[in-house]
Amino acid sequence: MSSGEAGEREKISMVVDRVIEMFKPDPARIQFDDPFYALVSIILSQNTSTKNVRMAMERFRRRFNSVEAVASASLKSIQEAIKPAGLWRMKAARIKLIARQITEGRIDLESVLLMPYPEARRILMSLEGVGPKTADVFLMFVRGEQVLPIDTHIFRVMRRLGIAREKDGYEALKSKLESAVEPGKRILAHLALIEFGRKVCIARNPKCPECPFSRICPSSEVHAQG
């Protein structure tokens, strides 16, 4: 390992420890009693608040009591159920498509959860509408897989800190963070970095004066001048 790589890992580790201390995430509050509804919840969580996801899931579960009911439902009825989550047209189409693939025997989520990580991830990603992040988040929350999924907030934070390069895609940044964060901290790191991106390192007008990393952040001076 080069000195540059070692320094970068130390930087990532320091950032992760600090954001975990700041936000004290509690993974235990995120529990799922059914893998299909877990997958739906993960899809609904994209680009929306936890409060809106909770509202949408309550409506969705009242409306649909099985994956079969979702697969046979009209797209409009799914849209109406999940409206609080935002981007409901796109999300409803994905949810219906996934439900149909499950009921048609393309995948058995219970069986997937018993598979080794690489195989489980590959099979999940064989479903249309499930990408690497969705697969990783599903495995992380439903069975405690020690991975560190990368979302838009984490990408933004890491790019501003100079850890993610412009050319880095999902797999490259995930590998980079996982190499620096011990398995037992990865779920905490995922949750805390998202909160940091939502509340401090926000997309527009980041709160650099409140940021504990402003002295080591290449983007801090740029935003301060802007």
Residues that are catalytic: 133
Distance of CA 86 to the CA centre of its chain: 16
Contacts of 91 by beta carbon, 8 Å cutoff, 6+ apart: 43, 44, 46, 82, 85
CB 101 within 8 A of CB 112: no
Q: Tokens for 218, please give them.
A: 């290449």
Contacts of 92 by beta carbon, 8 Å cutoff, 6+ apart: 75, 78, 79, 82
Alpha helix ranges (H) inside the chain: 3-23, 35-44, 50-63, 67-72, 75-82, 88-103, 109-112, 117-125, 132-143, 152-160, 170-180, 186-199, 220-225
- Measured CA to CA, the distance from residue 31 to residue 210 in angstroms comes to 32
